[in-house]
Amino acid sequence: MQRRMLVGLGGGLVLALFTACSDKPDVTEPSFGQVHTDCELGCNEPPPDPVDPLAPGYFLGSGVTSLTCFNGSQTDADVDGLSDFCEKNIALAFAPYLKYTRSDDIGREPKWVSRRLGTTGSNVQIAYLLSYYNDWGPVTTACNNNILDLINREICRGHGGDSEIIVLDVSYVLKNQRWVLDSAFYSAHGLYHRYPKTAQGYPAMEYYSTKGGAPYSYVSYQKHANYRSFADCDKAEFLGGLIVQDICDPQATVRVDAGGQLNLGSRAHRFLDCMFSGNPIYSGSGRKECYWSDTQKFSGWHVDNPTATPYSPLLKTLGY
C-alpha cells in the first residue's frame, strides 16, 4: 500500500510516494565527509572597503562575484551558466546546519546540485539532497497504541530511504559585495515550507553565524521533516494536525556535507548519477541510487524495501 501526497514547489506539482518498512536494524550510521572551504582565487581576501561590517551574507572573494561567476572566464563543466569554482564555494558557504535528536538515525549520503537562475542577474540556486538511509516513521501515542490501524496503517510506518531536500536561492549584492540568502524551501512530508525574503533583505530564519547566511533546519525525529525553528516544528500539522504532530528535540547539530565531490552536475552533463553506497553497511547490497532517474525510487541503498519518491522529478520541477 502506498500513501500519496502532492508536493508543491514553484508552481509545479510532483507526486511523492511514501511507503513502509517494518524491519529496523540495530545500526545508526552517522553521515560522513567534512565541509572544507576551497580557498583558491582569493577567497581568503578581506572584504574591500567600504563595506558594512553588519551587512548580511558572505563575502566569498574576488573569484566569486556576479562578474566572475557568470561571464564565462572560469570553467563551467556542467554547462549550467555558473562556473564550477563559484558553485562549489557558494554551496559550501550556505550549507545548512541540521538540529536533530541525538538518538535519531540521521545516517545519510548527501549530494547537491546548483544552477544560475535565469540568464541575467546574479541569482543562484543550490539544492541539497539529504539522502537519508532510513525513515522510521512518526513517534506518537496514536501510532504506538495502534489507534490508526483502522484508518491507514502506513501512516505509522517508515520506509527505506528518505529523499528530503533543502533548496536555497541566493543572490549577489553588488553594494556590499556579498552573497545573501533570498529564499528557502524546506521539505516536510512531501510538501514544502517556503521562507521568502523579508524587508530585512533575507528570510526570517535562524542562522548559524551571519544573518542571510547558512540557515538552521530543525529536523523532526525519525521523519526528517525540516523546519526553520523549534516553534514551527512544535506546531507543525501532519494530516491536518488531527492525529499526529512532528517532534523536534534539538540536542545536536551537524552541517550538511557539501564538498565539491558531491556535486551532481546537471541533467545534460552529469558528474554523478547511478552509484553504490560509500558506506560499508550498505555498499554490499548491490543497489545503486540513480539521482537523475524519474522512475527509480530512492531506497537509501536498501534492496527490496518500500521506498521514497525519486529525486529526479523534484530536480526537474526546480529546473534541473
75, pLDDT greater than 80: yes
pLDDT band at 52 (very low <50, low <70, confident <90, very high): confident
Lowest mean pLDDT among 158-167, 243-252, 274-283: 243-252
- Joined together, the cell numbers standing for residue 200 give 530585512
Q: Give me the residue label for grid cell 558594512.
A: 52
Distance CA 309, CA 18 (A): 6
Those residues with Cβ within 8 angstroms of residue 259's Cβ, 6 or more apart along the chain or in another chain: 33, 34, 35, 36, 92
**Per-residue pLDDT, 5:** 33
pLDDT, tens digit, for every residue of 130-163? 999 998 777 665 565 554 444 444 556 677 889 9
**Per-residue pLDDT, 242:** 45
Distance CA 281, CA 284 (A): 7
**Per-residue pLDDT, 233:** 86
pLDDT, tens digit, for every residue of 220-247? 988 899 999 998 887 655 554 445 568 8
pLDDT band at 111 (very low <50, low <70, confident <90, very high): very high
